[in-house]
Chains A and B, each alone.
Chain A
Amino acid sequence: MDELKTNLKKQIVECLNLKDVNPESIDDNAPLFGEGLGLDSIDALEIVVLLQQQYGIKITNAEEAKAIMQSVASIAAYIESHKSN
C-alpha cells in the first residue's frame, strides 16, 4: 500500500506537471482539490485518465469520482479494493 501511494504521488506530480511539488511532501490524507495541492477540474480529468491508463480503473460516476479522488490515500484504497475484486 505504501509503495502504491509513493508511485501515485510521483505519477500525479509528473502527469500534472507540478514542478514545484516534491512527491514525498504530499500528505497521504491531504485534500488534492481546492486546498492542499490546489488542483482543479481539468486535473481531475487528467487523474481519471491516469488511473485508467496505469491501473485499468474506469471511473464513470462523477459523485463516486469525488470521493475516490479526495486524497492520495483514498485513491490508493480504491485501487486496492478494485484489485481484490
Chain B
Amino acid sequence: MEIYINSSFAISPYDSSRNFIGMKDGRFACIEPDYDNILDARQLRRMSRIMKMALTAAKKAIDDNGNINPDAIITATGLGCLEDTGTFLTKISDPDNRMMNPTSFIQSIHNTMAGQISLFLRNTCYNNTFTQTSLSFEHALFDAVMLLNEKPDNSVLLGGIDELTTLKFDLAERLHLAEKRSNGYYGQGEGSAFFTLSGHKSKVIVKEFILPFMGDHSDIGNYIEAKVDTNDAILLSGNPGNLQDPDDETIKQLFEDDRIIDYKQYCGDYPTSSSFAFWMANQLLNGGIGMPDLDSDLSDVIIHHSYPGNSQSLIHLCRS
C-alpha cells in the first residue's frame, strides 16, 4: 500500500520564503517563531528551547492536517534534550550541590518531547521515540510505515528533532570537527521537522527507504538509475564532500549539476538532519512551495543521508 505525507512543518535555520539561512555566532541557528503566540504561557515556562521547537512543529503539522489528533506519535532524536542534559550534568558534577533541580533532570530524557506532545494533545495512543544516532529519523519512519501498513486509515505524527547547544558546539570544536569542512562538513546544525503520514491520498508518496544503506556511490547510482528518470528527479545529498569528489563521476553522470542539492548547506549537520531533507523533499514535490529558486517540475526526490562516522540511508519520495 502507499503511504502519503499529508502535512509537514519545520523549524530550521532555513527560511525558504526569503532564501535566508539563520546563523548565530558563526553556526547554524533555527529561525524560531514567537512561541508566546503559539503555546500557552503556563506550558512554556518550563520548556527548554528544543521542547518548544518540537511542540510547535508538531502542532503546526497537525493543524495543517485538519487538526486530526494522531493515532500514533513517533519522534526521533539523536541527542535528545541537550540543554537540559547539560544543565543537569553540570549540577551533578558540582560536589557542593547536594540537591538536584527536578525539571532539568526530567526533561533531559530523550522521550520527553514525544511525551509533552501527547500531554499537549491529550493523546493516549501509541507513543515512541527512536534514538539511533544518525539513523534515528529513519528508524522512526520505519516504525510509522509498519504501523500504517497495518492500519492505513490511521494518522501518524512523525518528527525529527535535535538542538545545537553552546556546550555541544564547543565540544565538537575541540574535537576539530570544523577542520573536516573541506571534506563536506558544513558545521553543526539543528532543526525540528514534523509530518503527518497516512494511507489517505495526498501529493507525496513515501515510496521506499533503505535503512541502513550499506553501499557506495556506485550503488546509489544503480538505485537511482533503476528507480527514477533523472530528468525529473533531484538528489538531496547529505554527503556532498564525497559526492563532489572529482574522481567519482558515478552520480554526476546521472544528474545535471543543479539536480544534486546539498541539503546540509541549509540546516547544518545534525543526527536527524534527514528529517529536514524529508521536509525539503516534500516541499519540492508539492510544487516547489517555499523553494522559489529550485525547479518545481519534479516527480521524484532521493534523499541520501550520512553523518560523520555513521551509517547511511536512502529515502525515495515521489509524486502521487
Chain A residues with a Cβ under 8 A of chain B? 16-20, 38, 42, 45-46, 49, 52-53
Interface members, chain B 218-271 (any A CB < 8 Å):
none
- Whether a CB of chain A sits under 8 angstroms from the CB of B100 is yes
- Whether a CB of chain A sits under 8 angstroms from the CB of B95 is no
Instruction: A19-B44, A52-B99 are known; give 6 further A-B pairs, CB within 8 A.
Output: A16-B45, A20-B41, A42-B46, A42-B106, A45-B102, A46-B102
Cα A18 to Cα B45 in complex, Å, equals 6
Taking CB atoms, residues of chain A closer than 8 Å to B106 are: 42
What are 17 of the A-B contact pairs (CB < 8 Å)?
A: A16-B45, A16-B46, A17-B45, A19-B41, A19-B45, A38-B42, A42-B102, A42-B103, A42-B106, A45-B102, A46-B101, A46-B102, A49-B99, A49-B100, A49-B101, A49-B102, A52-B99
Taking CB atoms, residues of chain B closer than 8 Å to A52 are: 98-99
Is there contact, CB below 8 Å, between B45 and A53? Answer: no
| Most central of B99, B100, B106 by chain A CB within 10 Å | B99
**CB < 8 Å A-B pair total:** 25
Is there contact, CB below 8 Å, between A53 and B99? Answer: yes
Chain B, residues 40-52, CB within 8 Å of chain A (1/0): the string is: 0110111000000
Taking CB atoms, residues of chain B closer than 8 Å to A49 are: 99-102
Say how far A42's CB is from chain B's closest CB, in angstroms: 6
Cα A16 to Cα B46 in complex, Å, equals 7
Taking CB atoms, residues of chain A closer than 8 Å to B101 are: 46, 49
Cα A42 to Cα B101 in complex, Å, equals 10
Say how far A38's CB is from chain B's closest CB, in angstroms: 7
Taking CB atoms, residues of chain A closer than 8 Å to B98 are: 52
Is there contact, CB below 8 Å, between A17 and B46? Answer: yes
Cα A16 to Cα B41 in complex, Å, equals 12
Taking CB atoms, residues of chain A closer than 8 Å to B100 are: 49
Interface members, chain B 1-54 (any A CB < 8 Å):
41-42, 44-46
